[in-house]
Amino acid sequence: MKTINEKLEANLLELVTAIESACADFKQRIAQKHGVTDQEAPAVSEINFNLNFTEFNTQKLGTFEVTEEKVNPSEKWIRALNILKQNNATISTRYHQEGYIYSYWLYGKNHDRIYRQKLKP
């Protein structure tokens, strides 16, 4: 059972995450207003996605990797999740930038897993 301090900490973390997401969204809107293109925007390092992935292989997707919140540090998970949410990363519109090794996406409504697959050269 969680103590009051643990509950408070969890609630504060959710609040800070919401504020962080709102700030990123606001920054993106200002950039768009001033004509800053995605290519001119600061790059997001792939280091933000250094999470504990497990490899899977299916006939349809081939080899890909999946990670869940419970096997990652909260701060790293939230940062990666927010980047993917802000960029509407789905299986059909995967997130990656120049120099990335993998593409990343969220699947389903719960966003309880992050997926990645190596980019083809």
**pLDDT tens, residue by residue, 10-48:** 777 777 766 766 666 666 667 667 666 555 555 789 999
Whether residues 35 and 83 fall in one domain: no
pLDDT, tens digit (0-9, with 9 covering 90-100), for 107-120: 878 888 999 999 99
Whether residues 51 and 38 fall in one domain: no
Whether residues 59 and 92 fall in one domain: yes
pLDDT, tens digit (0-9, with 9 covering 90-100), for 61-101: 999 999 999 999 999 999 999 999 999 999 999 999 989 99
Whether residues 25 and 75 fall in one domain: no
Count of domains observed in the chain: 2
- Cα distances from 73 to residues 49, 76, 79, in angstroms, run 12, 6, 10
Asked if residue 114 lies in contact with residue 95, where contact means CB atoms within 8 angstroms, the answer is: no
Whether residues 72 and 107 fall in one domain: yes
Tokens standing for residue 101: 């090794």
Domain with 81 in it: 44-121
Whether residues 67 and 98 fall in one domain: yes
Whether residues 14 and 56 fall in one domain: no
The H or E element containing residue 16 is: helix 4-33
Whether residues 12 and 59 fall in one domain: no
Whether residues 8 and 53 fall in one domain: no
Considering the entire predicted model, what is its pTM?
0.68
Tokens standing for residue 74: 């909260």
Whether residues 33 and 65 fall in one domain: no
Whether residues 26 and 67 fall in one domain: no
Whether residues 52 and 69 fall in one domain: yes
